[in-house]
Structure 1
């Protein structure tokens, strides 16, 4: 029998090349386990008990599907929501740095459009509503 770790979905590498598909996979797995709200922003209208066990389940799932470099970089984060936000910021900042390196001027509208274009399919309706509100304002 092999000692290799069996993954439920593709591992997130430190380049973040498949970050958005990884995000969708994590969200789907947390949803199937009934603990997706653990990584979402707190919602006062949602009755969901945030327990240490639920945080641990989410952290274990995310870390198990991250490469070694990312696990080491974020191993001090014990809260699932904090890890989720830290990874999101990490890869958003990388995108900005790559655009600067290419000498492409950063325009706020383009950054917002790029962000909206990377939203998982499950949130497309919300992103379209936001895009409509943003363009109207």
Structure 2
């Protein structure tokens, strides 16, 4: 069986620039560890599972965020607080990405590799 601890990912930056990927990675890792229920509404997770989820989430936060949310003990409350703080990025990033996608032209690049790089950057 593979070791999930080796599949680490980047901690959430205090600026929140990587929030969308961090949230997806965190959710997937919690689900893989049977802790996904801890960040859902009306959950019936055991206190042990909540503690494990908090440890996991805290390990993947920037030091500034750790100190800011130090008093929160419930992973659902922390999840909601971070979502309220950073989830507005979808409304800011999506229109810009759509604009860039609409105006993406291969003739604006010197090589196909540069074009592919720009295309993958926009789609991510």
Counterpart of 1:57 in 2: which secondary structure? helix
Inter-partner Cα distance in structure 2 for 1:92 and 1:50: 25
> Which residue of 1 is the match for residue 9 of structure 2?
9
- The aligned residue for residue 39 of structure 1 is 39
- Count of aligned pairs: 88
> Structure 2-normalised TM-score?
0.64
Name the stretch that deviates more: 84-93 or 21-30. 84-93
1:19-58 equivalences under 5 Å are 19-42=19-42, 49-58=44-53
Consecutive aligned runs of 4 or more in structure 1 exceeding 4 Å deviation: none
Q: Secondary structure at the match of 2:28?
A: helix
Cα distance in 2 for partners of 1:88, 1:55 equals 18
Quote the residue 2:114 is aligned against: none
C-alpha spacing 1:90/1:14, structure 2 compared with 1 (3 Å): same
Query: Aligned-pair distance for 1:114?
Result: 2.4
CA distance in structure 1 between the partners assigned to 2:74 and 2:26 by the alignment: 15
1: CA distance, partners of 2:76 / 2:85:
14
TM-score (norm 1): 0.58
| Structure having the higher Rg | 2
CA distance in 1, matches of 2:29, 2:87: 23
Does the CA contact (< 8 Å) of 2:11 and 2:62 recur in 1? yes
Which of 76, 81, 89 aligns to 1:81? It is 76
Instruction: Quote the RMSD (CA, aligned, Å).
Output: 2.2
If asked which structure has higher relative contact order (CA below 8 Å, sep 6+), I would say 1
Maintained 8 Å contact 1:59/1:78: yes
Residues 10 and 65 in structure 1, CA contact (< 8 A), matched pair in contact too: yes
